[in-house]
Amino acid sequence: MQFYNVKSVEETLAIIKQHVAPINATVTLPLPEARGHVLAEDIIAPEDVPGFDRSTVDGYAVKAQDTYGSSESTPQFLEVVGEIEMGEEVTQRLQGGQAMAIPTGGMLPPGSDSVIMVEYCENMDGLLNTYRQVAPMENVIQKGEDIRQGDKLLAKGTRLRAQELGALASLGITEVTVYRPIRVGYLSSGDEIVPFQTKRLQVGQVRDINQLTIAALVEEWGGEVILGGIVPDEYETFKWTAQRLFEQVDFLVLSGGSSVGAKDYTTEVIQSLGDPGVLVHGVSIKPGKPTIFSMAGNKPVLGLPGHPASAMLIFLLFGQTAMGRLQGETEHNIPRRIEARITQNIASSPGRSDYIRVRLVEREGEWWAEPVLGKSGLISTLVASDGVVEIASVKEGVRQGEWVPVLLLR
């Protein structure tokens, strides 16, 4: 078999986005368990946050206009008529010429519109000398300034990070409806591959690395992994195992046997899972050329190249995109990348996207990307890397000192 019709990275991403749709099944989770999941509903704020005008400093609640003209040499004088306690409603209305002591976070009394910091005034036996003027709303967070009742706080399709959970907590929302976690099946293939727990290897055997790297990425992105074990290069067993696993999952990932060797059955196995079948076999990317992407019914199937660094990079690029689509996440193209300068010339073929593993080093306040050279079969190259530099398919390489985008591998 040959790689017919090798696709570009962009074409492959477009095919994945076009064919993979959200699973649509939802679950309602208690807020503390919702991190990393994707909202299946819009969140409309049921109330204002904060629910009352709040001081941001320790000081005195005043009417701003009573402080106008205040300075060190010509203070204004206000009557201190009380002290506000934290967490308590204040009903006493502030009249002109009055001030009330207020702690940071305390509720402003009705009638006041600003707070003067303790540093800029002096309480002399109930007479407050103000040495600076304040503007209306100075040192105040207004009711609803953070989140306004009725506003759409979060849209369906948002992945919940720590800050979203915090915002939901501020509204008293205790549970949310999210897409149910997607199930990703993973299966390694190859006669030489043995469980990573194998203590002593026979000559020629290789411990299963990809199972660990891919499963870790799936879990990091909020998916559940279902492991199918390791299958030998034997068509019937491979097919039967893949089919059994396929039935239980939303997304099937296979590693190894994606190339063109005599025993590389992966394409046939994937094709046997259903129509429309293989949509991409071969991507113009280095490493990772023998990548396969297929749809069997509404389920995506990704065939990863066996070489561990290729498998991981390809899963980062294409697996994450497929997972995000299944999870119903709204696409927002904010890649985790920084700009750095490359430490050496790197040649690349136009028409192919190259991913160069790099270590980041800081030199005189600038980030430099130092290539970690090595074959794609070497997992240690990724261990030594902080990120990958993408040399887009239109470029013929990069020159030493050139600024390049580095996708960070966290």
Residue 101's binding partner among ligand LQZAQKY5, ligand MOO, none (Cβ under 5 to 8 angstroms by kind) is none
Answer for which of 208, 250, 329, 386 binds ligand LQZAQKY5 (CB under 6 A) is 208
In terms of residues, how long is the chain? Answer: 410
Told to check if 310 binds ligand MOO by CB under 6 A, we report: yes
Residues 6+ apart with CB under 8 A from 227: 185, 186, 187, 211, 215
**Cα–Cα distances in angstroms (integers) from residue 94 to residues 62, 83, 108, 121, in the given order:** 8, 12, 9, 18
Nearer to ligand LQZAQKY5, 101 or 372 (CB): 372
Whose structure tokens read 């002591």?
A: 101
Distance between CA 165 and CA 161 in Å, rounded? 6
Residue 190's binding partner among ligand MOO, ligand LQZAQKY5, none (Cβ under 5 to 8 angstroms by kind) is ligand LQZAQKY5
Distance between CA 176 and CA 46 in Å, rounded? 14
Please name the amino acid found at residue 319.
G
Nearer to ligand LQZAQKY5, 61 or 356 (CB): 356
Told to check if 281 binds ligand MOO by CB under 6 A, we report: no
Nearer to ligand LQZAQKY5, 290 or 324 (CB): 290
Answer for which of 157, 305, 324, 387 binds ligand MOO (CB under 6 A) is 305
Please give the residues from 176 up to 195 whose contact with ligand LQZAQKY5 meets the rule CB under 6 A. Answer: 188, 190, 192-193
Please give the residues from 18 up to 47 whose contact with ligand MOO meets the rule CB under 6 A. Answer: none
Answer for which of 376, 381, 382, 386 binds ligand LQZAQKY5 (CB under 6 A) is 376
Told to check if 287 binds ligand MOO by CB under 6 A, we report: yes
Number of residues that bind ligand MOO (CB under 6 A): 8
Distance between CA 406 and CA 37 in Å, rounded? 27
Nearer to ligand LQZAQKY5, 325 or 352 (CB): 352
Tokens of 374: 């090595």
Residue 353's binding partner among ligand LQZAQKY5, ligand MOO, none (Cβ under 5 to 8 angstroms by kind) is none
The stretch near ligand LQZAQKY5 (CB under 6 A) out of 53-61, 73-81, 237-245, 252-260 is 252-260
Question: Nearest distance from residue 273's CB to ligand MOO, in Å?
Answer: 23
Distance between CA 303 and CA 224 in Å, rounded? 18
Distance between CA 191 and CA 188 in Å, rounded? 10
Question: Nearest distance from residue 283's CB to ligand LQZAQKY5, in Å?
Answer: 10
Question: Nearest distance from residue 268's CB to ligand LQZAQKY5, in Å?
Answer: 13
Residues 6+ apart with CB under 8 A from 213: 308, 311, 312, 315, 379
Told to check if 264 binds ligand LQZAQKY5 by CB under 6 A, we report: yes
Helices (H), 73-204: 162-170
Give the residue from 214, 339, 373, 259 showing the smallest Cα distance to 1. Answer: 259
Q: Would strands 251-255 and 299-304 be described as parallel, antiparallel, or unpaired?
A: parallel
DSSP class per residue in 100-133: EEE-TTPBPPTT--EEEEGGGEEEETTEEEE-S-
Q: What x/- string results for residues 369 through 388 when contact with ligand MOO is judged by CB under 6 A?
A: -------x------------
Whose structure tokens read 């991190």?
A: 35
Distance between CA 134 and CA 99 in Å, rounded? 13
Told to check if 288 binds ligand MOO by CB under 6 A, we report: yes
Nearer to ligand MOO, 281 or 289 (CB): 289
Residue 301's binding partner among ligand MOO, ligand LQZAQKY5, none (Cβ under 5 to 8 angstroms by kind) is none
Give the number of other CB atoms < 10 A from CB of residue 362. 9
**Residue 301 bridge partners (DSSP):** 252, 294
Binding site for ligand LQZAQKY5 (CB under 6 A): 188, 190, 192-193, 206, 208-211, 255-261, 264, 287, 289-290, 305-308, 310, 376-377
The residues binding ligand MOO (CB under 6 A) are: 286-289, 305, 307, 310, 376
